Amino acid sequence: MYTQISLSRQLLLPRRLVLQRTFESRVLITVANGPGFAELMRESGVEVIDAFDSRRVAPQEWVDLVADGSEVILIPHDPHGYESALLAQELLSAAGKAVAVIQSRSPLQALAAISTHSSDAPDAVGDFDSEVSMMQSAARATVPITIARAPRQMEYLSPNQESEIVTAGSVVALVDRQIIAFGDDEVDVAFRAIRLRSDQASEIITLVSGANASAGVVEELARKISAELPSVEVTTYFGGQAWYPLLIGIE
């Protein structure tokens, strides 16, 4: 079973992702690298830095969105955003703010972190440190996979340490910037990567299509996952990221 997300309907947002800012003094800030991500984040009550075309976010951009908030949670979307958030944390801490940076290095880890925050149950969110801990745990529990095209000839190192050449233009599946699967077919490569990184504890797989995603790929992949991994819930939606046709999150 899979669900295709309609961003215009809040009830169809991914699991747990119906949220607003719980305390006026607590500000959550994240980065969106596509219009779909931006819309989803803003509907979720989070302050958003638009970083379309994968541009790098400056530390001051985080700072500018804090306004009067006294407690600040910065939720990066990639490794560069994480480094930028750490610099912003220094600036905000010097100004007397309580600041935490979530160790999220992908849009899917950022979504998982945000999804633990709920305005419907403020008592469950708890104090600042407790909420940060919940977000860190959610981000760490999410395995992000990037499906892309190899921009040049690359090297793949198999689990038994054998090296293979990946030609430019091949479909690659990346985890932490390392190739874990490659080939010519997007659905096949993506599913092999999911098989490699999922286990019996995996409950949810989220598929986020990019601006240049091939027609029907997400739907075909979702059907394949549902058929071969029936215990897993599959959710799909449009993120609109520029460079990566498909982003995958496994929780």
Contact 33, 241 (CB under 8 A): yes
Nearest Cα neighbor of 45 from 58, 30, 67, 60 is 30
Domain 8-140 has CATH 3.40.50.10440: yes
Tokens coding 245: 């046709």
Give the chain's mean pLDDT.
Answer: 88
Return the pLDDT at 41. 84
- Give me the residue spans of the domains in the chain: 8-140, 143-250
Query: What is the structure's pLDDT at 43?
Result: 82
Please tell me the predicted confidence (pLDDT) of residue 194. Answer: 98
Flag residues of the chain having pLDDT under 70. 1-24, 118-126
pLDDT at 162: 86
The DSSP result for the chain, as a single string, is -EEE--TT-GGGSSTT-----SSTTEEEEEEESSHHHHHHHHHTT-EEEE-GGGPPPPHHHHHHTTTT-SEEEEE-SSHHHHHHHHHHHHHHHHTT-EEEE----SHHHHHHHHTT--SS-HHHH-SHHHHHHHHHHHHHT-EEEEEEE-SS-EEEE-TTS-EEEE-TT-EEEEETTEEEEEES-HHHHHHHHHHHH--TT--EEEEEE-TTPPTTHHHHHHHHHHHH-TTSEEEEEE---SS-SEEEEE-
- Measuring CA to CA, which residue among 248, 205, 236, 218 is closest to residue 7? 236
Per-residue pLDDT, 10: 32
pLDDT in tens, 217-234: 999 999 999 999 999 999
pLDDT at 45: 81
Nearest to 100 by CA among 52, 123, 124, 66: 66
In the prediction, which pLDDT does 11 show? 29
What architecture is domain 143-250?
2-Layer Sandwich (3.30)
Dihedral angle sign, alpha carbons of residues 43, 44, 48, 53: negative
- Please report the pLDDT score of residue 230 as a whole number: 95
Alpha carbon separation from 47 to 2, 44, 54 (Å, rounded): 29, 9, 18
- Apex CA 30: angle with CA 239 and CA 84, to 5°? 115
Give the tokens for residue 131. Answer: 């909420």
Q: Which pTM does this prediction carry?
A: 0.85
Q: What is the pLDDT of residue 115?
A: 87
Contact call for residues 191 and 224 (beta carbons, < 8 A): yes
* 119 to 44, 105, 209, 223: CA distances (angstroms): 10, 25, 28, 33
Q: What pLDDT shows up at residue 215?
A: 84
